[in-house]
Amino acid sequence: MKISFTTVIAFLIFATSFAQNKFGNPEVDPLQIQKTYEQWTVYNKGIMLSRDFTALDSSSKEISKEAFLDQLANGNFIPVRLKSESNIYVYKLFKIQPKTDTSIKATINQIGFDAYKNFKMEGTAFPQFSFKDLNGNLVTNESMKGKIIVIKCWYIHCTPCIREFPQVNKLVSEYKDRKDIVFMSLAEDSAEQLKTFLARKPLTYSVIPDMKEYMNNALQLNSFPTHFIINKEGMIAKVLPNFESLEVALAKESKL
């Protein structure tokens, strides 16, 4: 039986359309959000690439999260969420248009690079540590065995880091009865600087000073804030860029 070229094209169009409809249509117009850098920035704030999500390439084919993030970091795409239930995430890649502001592509490549790097850290052992917090308490890999550790990496002059203080403080309060969950923060600043600052802006995490070298070398961080969730076996369960992602991931990890 002969199959015409037109039939093949029609089938491919149908298959692509079916795949996208299976997951829903884009929640925003992919072309509209590329018109100005400001429009893209507004939409970008709601993108949660650190969460678990179904990843689709530009032809609506399901791909791995790793492949999706790699294309964001090195390709010419924007990620757009498809309409679904509030707790379900499906992202699809859409081509960046030729006339799109080059700043958008540069921003997306950086977001993709950071998300890819964070994703590759998940499932690996958290680097060896022996820290003393501002109260003189010593914490090590050994002393934290059997506990879930939530780590916030920050510094005093990081505006997004400070802005989420009320939210992370509330998170600590919500888990105050969980003796198996420890909240710890690594800060670049000296003990003296931190004590002065925290007197005005309290943080209910345990605070470790002088962590710039550790965060640069052992964790290789270039974006702040960054949050880690370490499971009870000392492995990195999640690496997250903001409180919103942390809240969801910790709720999941705390039930395991």
The per-residue pLDDT for range 58-97, each reduced to its tens digit, is: 999 999 999 999 999 999 999 999 998 877 899 999 999 9
User: Residue 143 is part of which domain span?
Assistant: 130-253
pTM of the model: 0.85
Q: Summarize pLDDT for 188-197 with one digit per residue, the tens.
A: 999 999 999 9
The amino acid at residue 133 is D
Q: How far is Cα of residue 31 from the mean position of the Cα atoms in its chain?
A: 25
Point out the domain boundary residue: 121, 141, 158.
121
The amino acid at residue 121 is M
Same domain, 38 and 99: yes
Domain count, the chain: 2
- Per the listing, tokens 């270039």 go with 222
Q: Summarize pLDDT for 9-30 with one digit per residue, the tens.
A: 444 444 444 444 578 899 999 9
Point out the domain boundary residue: 121, 138, 171.
121
Same domain, 173 and 99: no
Same domain, 149 and 49: no
Point out the domain boundary residue: 99, 121, 143.
121
Give the integer Cα–Cα distance in Å for 47 and 242.
11
Same domain, 95 and 147: no
Residue 15: per-residue pLDDT: 43
Same domain, 144 and 246: yes
